[in-house]
Chain A
């Protein structure tokens, strides 16, 4: 007589089954934990979607921008601020200072920091740019208190050729007929412009290389002599500027539209002064660099629509 499948039978197998029970329980717990983990990651992902820390490289623009930053030796806070914020979006960069920062990214111009040495520094920058001309298309010069939105610079330069003898920036016309470009707001030189300035201007003796308080004048004098043009259009299609020689707040203050007669183009009134695709602002203190970085790249509003952002200007 076989043993019927009574509860005794199950009780016997239950003892065996209890050995299986524990591993199964552990497995179930693990699965639940994994699901919980996945849910957490989803939450963080949801948050990160809003963050957009990194600027996604635009596939169409493949040109390379080298950034040259006029740095006052010893002012480490400023150097740190630019390094922590916008400089990482350049394809390459160098500081120009009277002292080596020992970071493999400093062009040294020996002397004492002053306005007088600025032209020597700019010369050093442009000479250096000429030595790396094969690796970069555009060369941006700024101060270490200039904040730059590199993506908007790329957008602007997409319509121009680095083979042209041009440089762009914010045009001033005070006390200098024909106008010149503000050093603080930053100016960007085409590859060809760099070549012409160094080979036909510096090396040929055509350009004045002596110290001068206003490097922008010396640069413009030289540019004119070698056929490099600065008067390309930098206003957007709504007539708003892109390169700015002051901080945003200054430009929004009513009464500052003409910048005391310095600006060639009258800037718009109030909030309309500045393009949505502005490229640079100047006189940005270190803490304000971090604030601009936060508001431009970190803080998100739900209104950002991916379709709108990728429409070309």
Chain B
């Protein structure tokens, strides 16, 4: 388990960040893919858990320490939509104590402070959802599952009451994130624009290297992304907001590296 004491004591909360933490309450619904990623989720819990206002791992086993819960759904991509629905309905629905609900994978690295910064300008009681916005399949687009997406309290309420309980959204799907986009559109939950004022994206479904690399180096695995971007993304250093929120495919050692680079390493004198 990652030692937590040193991290907290080496940083003092600025008044703004603490205020944001209290006023923009985010519940993290992390999806645990398989048995071998238990290690990943341990590290994931180690860094995410400190910074979400609340957290649960949707997994295949209960574990009070993490905390993890058994989703009751078998593993595998074909069951992801079912698992997502069960996750929200059963475990990630505390509408009273939280304002926003962020659903991500256990290999998604998220910078919660920057997520709060984005969400602070929006009212959680209006239906809205944010993420890495992609076009295709759904007219107003959908949010990539890998980068994680965040629903407002009002959006989640609609999802559970109208989408699930009243069955206005489909039960079966092979693409969980597309289905969520379809469902949101059906329930008239607008897709938010999470770009910064320089029009740079903030949620990323790949590792930083994929997004920061010039187009010549973009790998085949990510080729679909560049065609499906809802908003254009520049190449190289201008791709990514300075208040970026998430990256994906982050293995445990990489999580530590990102934790170090983002939360510990500081150039002296930089304001």
Pick from A64-72, A190-198, A272-280 the stretch touching chain B: A272-280
Number of interface residues, chain A, beta carbon within 8 A: 53
B36 at the interface (CB under 8 A from A): no
Interface size class for chain B? 35 or more
* Contact pattern, B 181-210, Cβ under 8 Å of A = 1, otherwise 0: 000000000000000111000000000110
How close is B214's CB to chain A, nearest CB, in angstroms? 9
| 8 Å CB interface, A264-295 against B | 270-272, 274, 276-278, 287-288, 290-295
Residues of A within 8 A of B208 (CB): 291, 294-295
Residues of A within 8 A of B253 (CB): 249, 252-253
How many A-B Cβ pairs are below 8 Å? 156
B12 at the interface (CB under 8 A from A): yes
Pick from B55-63, B139-147, B240-248 the stretch touching chain A: B240-248
Q: Which residue of A lies closest to B1 (CB)?
A: A270
| 8 Å CB interface, B231-270 against A | 236-237, 240, 242-244, 253-254, 256-270
Q: State whether A290 and B270 are in contact (beta carbons under 8 Å apart), knowing that A149-B265, A301-B114, A305-B14 are contacts in the complex.
A: no
A128 at the interface (CB under 8 A from B): no
The answer for the CA separation of A274 and B264 in the assembled complex, in Å, is: 9
A252, B212: Cβ atoms under 8 Å? Answer: no
B268, A306: Cβ atoms under 8 Å? Answer: no
B260, A310: Cβ atoms under 8 Å? Answer: no
How close is A273's CB to chain B, nearest CB, in angstroms? 9
Which of B3, B198, B236, B243 neighbours the largest number of chain A CB atoms within 10 Å of its CB? B243
Q: Which residue of B lies closest to A158 (CB)?
A: B268
B265, A301: Cβ atoms under 8 Å? Answer: no
A24 at the interface (CB under 8 A from B): no
A151, B209: Cβ atoms under 8 Å? Answer: no
* Contact pattern, A 54-95, Cβ under 8 Å of B = 1, otherwise 0: 011110000000000000000000000000000000000000
Q: Which residue of B lies closest to A150 (CB)?
A: B267
Pick from A41-49, A106-114, A116-124, A206-214 the stretch touching chain B: A41-49
A270, B3: Cβ atoms under 8 Å? Answer: yes
B22 at the interface (CB under 8 A from A): no
Partner of B268, one of A151, A272, A297, A299: A151
B223 at the interface (CB under 8 A from A): no
What are 14 A-B pairs with beta-carbon distances under 8 A?
A52-B271, A249-B256, A287-B212, A295-B265, A298-B240, A300-B243, A301-B111, A301-B262, A303-B11, A303-B113, A305-B11, A307-B12, A309-B266, A310-B269
The 3 A-B pairs with the shortest beta carbon distances in the complex, nearest first, are A151-B267, A305-B14, A155-B268
